[in-house]
Amino acid sequence: MINQNIKIAVDAIVFGYHNGIVYVLAVQQKFGKLANHWVLPGGFIRDDEPLIQGVERELQEETGVTVSYLEQLKTFGDDVARDERFRVISVAYFALVNPKNFVLKADTDAKNAKWFAIKDVPKLGYEHNEMVQLAHARLKNKLTYQPIGFDLLDQEFLFSDLENLYCSILEQDIDRRNFRKKILSFGILEETGKVVKKGSSGRPGELFSFDKEKYDQLLKDNFQFEIKFA
């Protein structure tokens, strides 16, 4: 009989977006060998809870953030010495939120919680930097076949906000004319009838919202969301 002493943990790579910058949420550990070091939010799973509920609980406890989009990324466990106390296998998830909707509040074993620009993420504990890189690559790829970027925007947004979001995540310029034509052809954006001034020129811009109900219905009819970038 194999004798195991393995713990299961979850870690969350939470992306935020504001003013053309993609952010990653991190917490500063309060206890243990990595006290005062920055890590991703996460912790051990309770015996009676599903993995995804564990991620949601840890995020809420350590940062005060709740998420509507959460996806399992990968299981990490090849480094058998990642925790000096015992063998730990971690299941990583990534999430998308609008940082403006939350006031960060560190609690439990987190000393502090902070948004870091993705280019300025510090050296994190464990293999958490690898998790961030993998999640960022997954996010870039998913933008081409699933409209998940809307979770990072306000409920009502300028079309230029959506364009800038894609440029920021993909880290490249896009053909804005073709992008606009393609997105509008899907019929998943709703015109709000509202306009706001754009920049110092004062030129009015129309506000849109993402029609998730329409998108969900289209999926049932085998709709294919696909955008190609050069």
Query: Do the two domains 7-142 and 148-220 of this chain adopt the same fold?
Result: no
* Distance, CA of 90 to CA of 92 (rounded, Å): 6
Q: Is the pTM of this model over 0.85?
A: yes
* Distance, CA of 130 to CA of 96 (rounded, Å): 18
Class of domain 148-220: mainly alpha
Note whether 98 and 154 are within 8 A (CB).
yes
Give the helix ranges, DSSP H, for the chain: 51-63, 128-142, 159-170, 176-186, 212-220
One digit per residue, the tens of pLDDT, for the chain of length 230 reads 777 788 999 999 999 999 899 999 999 999 888 888 999 999 999 999 999 999 999 999 999 999 988 999 999 977 776 766 777 889 999 999 999 999 999 988 889 999 999 999 999 998 999 999 999 999 999 988 888 888 899 999 999 999 999 999 999 999 999 999 999 999 999 999 999 876 666 678 899 999 988 888 888 887 878 887 76
Structure tokens of 119? 């280019």
With b meaning 16 or more CB within 10 Å and e meaning fewer, what string describes 15-41? Answer: bbbeeeebbbbbbbbbeeeeeebbbbb
Instruction: Specify the fold of 7-142.
Output: Nucleoside Triphosphate Pyrophosphohydrolase (3.90.79)
Note whether 25 and 16 are within 8 A (CB).
yes
Domain boundaries, the chain: 7-142, 148-220
